[in-house]
Amino acid sequence: MSNTISGKNLLRPTGLQCKNLQEYLKSRPPEVLNKLYHNPPICLAVFRELPVIAKHYVMRLLFVEQPVPQAVIASWCSKLHFEEHQKVVLILNELNVWKEASIPGGLPGWILNTTFKKNLKIVLLGGGKPWTMSNQLEIDSKPRDVAFLDSYALERWECVLHYMVGSQQQEGISADAVRILLHAGLMKRDEADGSPVITQAGFQFLLLETALQVWYFILQYLDTIEARGLDLVECLTFLFQLNFSTLGKDYSTEGMSEGLLTFLQHLREFGLVYQRKRKAGRFYPTRLALNIATGQNKPLSRDPEKEGYIVVETNYRVYAYTNSNLQVALLGLFCEMLYRFPNLVVSILTRDSVRQALKSGITAAQIVGYLQQHAHSKMIEAGPPILPPTIVDQIKLWENERNRFIFSEGVLYSQFLSQTDFEVLRDHALSTGVLIWQSERKRTMVVTKAGHDDVKKFWKRYSKGSS
C-alpha cells in the first residue's frame, strides 16, 4: 500500500471505452429512442442485440395485443435461470422495448412498445414505407464485385490508420476526418507544432478489430453530427439500412435529403460505401458498413481481412505473414523486429518490448486480443487454446509487474495535537470504511476522497464538543 496522495494524472490508464449499441441507445433520451423506433431497420438492429431470452420474449409477444401478466412471462423461463430472466426484464425496460401496463383485475403486466412492435412487424412481414435507398435502378453498366469492394474498403480504412501511426505511405485524409480523430481523443495536437499526434487511446484503438474500430469511430462521429447540422435520427436510420444491405448490390441515392447526401460522402471517405462519382446516383455498401452494429462480439464471417497471419511460438517468436506496413507497424508496438522478408516478418516478444507497449497505455489483454484475432488459421485449427498459454501468462505477468502500486485518491490528515484526537478520528474513519492508511507513530492518516466530507464534519463536531 502506498501513502502517495495521488492526483488524477497518476491514475492508471483506463481502457478505451467503446459502447455497444445497447449502451449507446440507453444513453439517449427516451424521446430520441422513441423517434428511432419509428424506423424498421433500427428496431431490427435493437432486436438483434438483445439477449437470447429477450428475443424469444419479444417474439412471443409480437402477435399479442393485450398486456401479459408479469407472472406469466416469468413462468416462461426455467426456474434455474431466474437471474437471467431478471436481467432480461431490466434490459427490455431500459431500452423501452416494453412497458408496464396493468391488466384488468389489477395484475401488473407488460406490453410491447407499440411503435417498436409495429415496426418490427414491418421488418418481418412487410408493409410500411420502403427504405430510403431502395429505389429502382437501371442495371449498372460497370457493376462492382465483392472482391473489388473489399479491397476498396480496406484501402480507405487503412488510409485512416496509416495517418494515425504516421507511417510513410501517407495519403491525405480530409480535414473532417482529422477533426473526428481529434474529437475522439485518438489523436491530439502536438504542443510544439500543432500537428496531430497519436494518443494512448489511439494506440489502443489501433489494436482493436476492424469492425470495432469502425463502430467506435462512427460513435464519435455521431457525437459531432448535430454540430454539423445533420439530423441524428435520419443518419442513424440510414446507417442501419446500410447495416442490413446486401454486399455487392447497388442502391439508389434518389430521394435522399441534402443532409443524408453529405453523410453519404463522409461514409464514402472512410470506405463504408463505394461511389464511382459523387453524383453517380448509386452507391455500393462495403463490408465495413455491413454488420456495423454487431461489431461488439460477432465478427464478420468470412472476412478476407480476418485471414489470420500471425503465428506465435512458445519461444516468444512471432511470425507475421504480411507485407502490409500497417500490420508490421502495429506488431512493432509490442514486438521487437528481427527480420523482414517480402511476405514475412519475424519478431520476438521481449520484456522490454512489451513494457514499452504497456507504458504507452496498451493493456496486456489488448496485446493478447490482437494476437488472437489475427492468429493464423493453422493456429486456430491446432487450438484451443489458440495462443501458447505460457506466452499469454508471461505477457500478463509483465503487466502485473507494473501494478505493484495501487493508486487511490485520498486526503491526508496530520499534525494531530494529541494521540486521543488521532485515535478518535481514525476509529471513526475505520468504522465508516473510508480509511486508506494510518500511522499511529506519525499521527497521520489518509481517508478516501469520498469519505473526506464526512470525516471533516465529524472532526468539527468532535473538536467543538471537546473544547
Residues that bind other proteins (CB under 8 A): 15-16, 18, 40-41, 44, 47-48, 52-53, 55-56, 59-60, 62-63, 75-78, 80-81, 84, 119, 122-131, 134-137, 209, 244-246, 291, 294, 297-299, 301-302, 365-366, 368-369, 372-373, 375, 377, 380-381, 383, 386
Tell me whether residue 331 or residue 367 sits nearer to other proteins (CB atom). Answer: 367
CA distance 79 to 195: 59
Per DSSP, helices labelled H in 168-225 are 175-183, 200-206, 210-223
Tell me whether residue 316 or residue 370 sits nearer to other proteins (CB atom). Answer: 370
Tell me whether residue 195 or residue 377 sits nearer to other proteins (CB atom). Answer: 377
Name residue, grid cell 429502382. 136
- Min separation Cβ 276 and other proteins, Å: 20
Looking at residue 229, its amino acid is G
- Min separation Cβ 341 and other proteins, Å: 24
238: nearest Cα among 227, 224, 252:
252
CA distance 244 to 265: 19
- Min separation Cβ 447 and other proteins, Å: 33
237: nearest Cα among 214, 263, 211:
263
CA distance 343 to 261: 40
Looking at residue 146, its amino acid is V
CB 329 within 8 A of CB 316: no
Tell me whether residue 65 or residue 191 sits nearer to other proteins (CB atom). Answer: 65
CA distance 295 to 20: 8
CA distance 96 to 457: 42
- Min separation Cβ 457 and other proteins, Å: 40
With a CB cutoff of 8 Å and minimum separation 6, the contacts of 80 are none
CB 285 within 8 A of CB 242: yes
- Min separation Cβ 4 and other proteins, Å: 29
With a CB cutoff of 8 Å and minimum separation 6, the contacts of 218 are 239, 292
HSE (CB half, 13 Å, CA atoms) of 342?
0
- Min separation Cβ 16 and other proteins, Å: 8
CB 188 within 8 A of CB 196: yes
Tell me whether residue 105 or residue 130 sits nearer to other proteins (CB atom). Answer: 130
- Min separation Cβ 313 and other proteins, Å: 18
Query: Residue 410 forms beta bridges with which residues?
Result: 448
Axis-axis angle for helices 175-183, 210-223 (nearest 10)? 90
- Min separation Cβ 315 and other proteins, Å: 23
Tell me whether residue 178 or residue 311 sits nearer to other proteins (CB atom). Answer: 311
Tell me whether residue 12 or residue 278 sits nearer to other proteins (CB atom). Answer: 12
CA distance 329 to 166: 10
- What are 224's three cell numbers? 459531432
Tell me whether residue 17 or residue 415 sits nearer to other proteins (CB atom). Answer: 17
HSE (CB half, 13 Å, CA atoms) of 212?
19
Tell me whether residue 248 or residue 259 sits nearer to other proteins (CB atom). Answer: 248
- Min separation Cβ 369 and other proteins, Å: 4
- Min separation Cβ 364 and other proteins, Å: 10
DSSP string for residues in 377-402: HHHHHH-SSSS-HHHHHHHHHHHHHT
149: nearest Cα among 237, 215, 245:
245
Tell me whether residue 65 or residue 381 sits nearer to other proteins (CB atom). Answer: 381
Tell me whether residue 218 or residue 436 sits nearer to other proteins (CB atom). Answer: 218
- Min separation Cβ 217 and other proteins, Å: 16
CA distance 2 to 357: 25
